[in-house]
């Protein structure tokens, strides 16, 4: 692997900002502001614009080995051996916190790493954590700012009316991509592989990353899928039962960019071929036995925790249009929720600041 030709993150042509992107991003901000206001009118409380449903919050340790080859000893995080406390959340992608688990949809995972040292973006300098977010699909259908503006608006317009939604989708050349988000296999969350979907700087190079369930029991649980006869909150029950009796372990893997045509940075809807550009393990996440559905943790996360891929190391800079959307939309969404809920975000400095009771 060390002899492969990896694209450097600052090479010409890595990022190409399309005309009108700033206007499209502002339109997404306005859509989310409207969504938050509507949710507040209905519920008297506003959740995140995406991933509103929490299935569990756990604490663990992110372990970086000291024997990585040179091309993987990138950024302050992976340059040397280290262990970092982590708090993690399992979620579902839709903004409704009451959405039925039996409805197929992407599932999410987020990590906040503590004790990370190095040059941080301005967003995270007051509370130096590395935020890492994942989705259970390897590609992002909201491939850029323009697509995000159009598809989010359509989904909000039609709500649960898939017939009307798909009629509008069918007028688009990317119809099947967007329909596929409603046909995702619903597996046990402990067996669900998670992906960055978008590209990131990886020190000198460019990567996508993935979190792979690695224990034998987790891999076996992949056979367990949500059925129509299950309860509407089956995923949190499965997850809680697993964590009460088992340790979880994941491999954190990276896939490096070698060809900008095959591995575009600005089109998050294109999967990078894993046979041509293989995944490599650079760390592992270990989660000891615990109660994953602690109501104190759940409420604290939902009311106060901010996860933002721009909250972290400069050497892990988010790349591409979808991440430029996040850099504007996430703070705007957080500000609107703060205004409506009258709850301040809490920027943790250590994992001990995250309450258990």
Is 355 a domain residue?
no
Give the rounded percent of residues in the chain with a pLDDT score beyond 70. Answer: 99
Please compute the mean of the pLDDT values over residues 272-283 and round it to a whole number: 98
Provide the domain count of the chain.
1
Is 2 a domain residue?
no
The pLDDT of residue 140: 94
Is 298 a domain residue?
yes
Query: Average pLDDT of the chain?
Result: 93
Q: What is the H or E stretch that residue 97 is in?
A: none
Q: Who has greater pLDDT, 97 or 235?
A: 235
Is 92 a domain residue?
yes
Q: What gap in Å lies between CA 302 and CA 313, rounded to an integer?
A: 24
Structural contact between residues 115 and 85, judged by C-beta atoms closer than 8 angstroms: yes
The residue among 191, 243, 205, 194 whose CA lies nearest residue 58 is: 243
Task: Count Cβ neighbours within 10 Å for each residue of 213-223 and write b for 16 or more, e otherwise.
Answer: bbbeebeebee
Please compute the mean of the pLDDT values over residues 226-235 and round it to a whole number: 95
Q: Dig out the tokens for 340 from the structure.
A: 């409506």
**CATH number, position 150:** 2.40.180.10
Q: Could you write out the three-class secondary structure of the chain?
A: CCCCCCCCCCCCCCCCCCCCHHHHHHHHHHHHHHHHHHHHHHHCCCCCCCCCEEEEEEEEEEEECCCCCHHHCCHHHHCCCEEEEEEEEEEECCCCCCCCCCCCCCEEEEEEECCCCCCECHHHCCCCCEEEEEECCCCCCCCCHHHHHHHHHHHHHHCCCHHHHHHHHCCCCCHHHHHHHHCCCCECHHHCCEECCCCEEECCEEEEEEEEECCHHHHHHHHCECCCCCCCCHHHHHHHHHHHHCCEEEEEEEEECCCCCCCCCCCCCCCCCCCCCCEEEEEEEEECCCCCCCHHHHHHHHHHCCCCCCCCEHHHCECCHHHHHHHHHHHHHHHHHHHHHCCCCCCCCCHHHCCCC
CA-CA distances (angstroms) from residue 33 to 3, 28, 29, 74, 351?
48, 9, 6, 38, 31
Task: Tell me the β-bridge partners of 107.
Answer: 92
Is 12 a domain residue?
no
The total of other beta-carbon atoms located within 10 Å of residue 327's CB is 15
The pLDDT of residue 47: 76
The pLDDT of residue 1: 46
pLDDT of 145 higher than 90: yes
**pLDDT (tens digit, 9 = 90+) per residue, 155-203?**
989 988 999 999 999 999 999 999 998 889 999 999 999 999 999 999 9
Q: What gap in Å lies between CA 80 and CA 74, rounded to an integer?
A: 9
Domain holding 216, by residue range, is 21-347
**pLDDT (tens digit, 9 = 90+) per residue, 14-34?**
999 999 999 999 999 999 998
Please compute the mean of the pLDDT values over residues 344-349 and round it to a whole number: 86
CA angle 293, 250, 272 (to 5 degrees): 120
Task: Tell me the β-bridge partners of 256.
Answer: 207
């Amino acid at each position: 692997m060390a002899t492969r030709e990896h694209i450097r993150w600052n090479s010409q042509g890595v990022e190409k900002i399309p005309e009108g992107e700033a206007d499209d991003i502002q339109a997404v901000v306005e859509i989310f502001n409207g969504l938050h206001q509507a949710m507040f009118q209905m519920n008297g409380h506003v959740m995140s614009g995406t991933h509103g449903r929490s299935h569990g919050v756990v604490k663990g340790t992110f372990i970086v080995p000291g024997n990585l080859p040179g091309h993987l000893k990138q950024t302050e995080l992976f340059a040397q051996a280290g262990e970092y406390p982590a708090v993690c959340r399992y979620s579902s992608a839709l903004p409704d916190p009451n959405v039925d688990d039996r409805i197929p949809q992407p599932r999410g995972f987020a990590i906040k790493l503590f004790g990370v040292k190095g040059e941080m973006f301005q967003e995270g300098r007051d509370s130096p954590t590395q935020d890492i977010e994942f989705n259970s699909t390897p590609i992002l259908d909201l491939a850029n700012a323009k697509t995000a503006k159009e598809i989010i608006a359509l989904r909000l317009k039609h709500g649960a009316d898939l017939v009307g939604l798909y009629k509008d989708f069918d007028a688009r050349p990317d119809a099947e991509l967007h329909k596929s988000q409603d046909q995702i296999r619903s597996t046990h969350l402990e067996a669900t592989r998670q992906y960055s979907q978008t590209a990131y700087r990886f020190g000198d190079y460019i990567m996508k990353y993935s979190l792979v369930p690695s224990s034998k029991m987790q891999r076996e649980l992949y056979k367990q899928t949500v059925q129509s006869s299950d309860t509407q909150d089956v995923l949190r029950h499965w997850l809680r039962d697993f964590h009460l009796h088992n340790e979880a372990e994941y491999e954190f893997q990276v896939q490096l960019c070698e060809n900008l045509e095959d591995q575009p940075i600005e089109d998050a809807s294109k999967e990078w071929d894993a046979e041509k550009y293989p995944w490599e393990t650079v760390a592992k996440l270990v989660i000891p036995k615990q109660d994953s559905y602690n109501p104190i943790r759940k409420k604290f996360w939902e009311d106060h925790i901010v996860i933002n891929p721009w909250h972290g190391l400069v050497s892990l800079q988010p790349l591409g249009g979808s991440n430029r959307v996040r850099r504007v939309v996430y703070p705007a969404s957080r500000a609107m929720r703060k205004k409506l809920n009258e709850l301040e975000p809490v920027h943790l400095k250590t994992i001990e600041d995250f309450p258990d009771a």
